[in-house]
Copies of this chain bind each other. A is one copy, B any other.
Amino acid sequence: MKKERISNNVIRRLPRYLRKLDELMASGVNRISSTELGQQLGFTPSQIRQDFNCFGEFGQQGYGYNVPLLREQIAGILGMDRGFSAVLIGVGHIGRALMDNFCFSEWGINLIQAFDVNPELVGKEVSGVHVSSMDELQKFIANNKVDIAVLTVPRDAALPVSETLIDNGINAIWNFTNVELVEPGSPVIVENLHFSDSLLALSYYVSDYYDGQKK
């Protein structure tokens, strides 16, 4: 498959395409034109064609896209078929929400272990995943292939725990702590879910909406 340098904007749109294609497959749709797909997603057909062209030719002129094939190819690009494994650190509210309600395996990720400092949790299973003591984290990482660390510890623990992870060879962190973990230019891959950034963007759009009403 042709693989050019892909812009972050395209990468950010791929999961949305994937969800839409899953939805189409679930409703038995096997083929869709870029126009139709665009209407359902609020994108222009040319944007869709442009996005998919970054990765090679998916569609056929006059036929449209083969939905299951396109889905499989996007899943492949996103690494869903690589069997990545993850550990989760911090079984508080957010950690539990992820373990109980977020289906890692649906997205191709194998959540293999969780870690917490709370002695009441250590040794238990949460939604089928074993919770170990934080003291065992280093050893576990050394002895197992861990591709991704899910960081759901409290804010104060964010930096020390991320340092431990990085020092022990973890190269990718899914960060829920609202703390910047690394300096710009660090080779460590950090994907932030900064709740406050999202809320402030919403706050901007609400302000903008109210300002528009006044005119």
Contact = CB atoms under 8 A, between A and B. Distances in A.
A34 to B, nearest CB: 15
A100 interface: yes
A191 B199 contact: yes
Interface stretch (A73-81, A116-124, A130-138): A73-81
A78 B200 contact: yes
Interface string A19-62: 10000000000000000000111100000000000000000000
B203 A78 contact: yes
Interface residues of A, number: 62
Contact of A194 (B15, B101, B204, B205): B15
A206 B93 contact: no
A195 B15 CA distance: 10
A143 interface: no
Contacts of A209: 171-172, 189
Nearest to A182: B42
Contact of A202 (B92, B184, B189): B189
A11 interface: yes
Nearest to A195: B102
A199 B107 contact: yes
Contacts of A202: 148, 172, 174, 189, 191
A12 interface: yes
A197 interface: yes
A70 to B, nearest CB: 15
A159 interface: no
Nearest to A186: B42
Contacts of A104: 199
Given A93-B93, A203-B107, A196 B82 contact: no
5 contacts: A12-B201, A82-B203, A93-B101, A109-B203, A174-B198
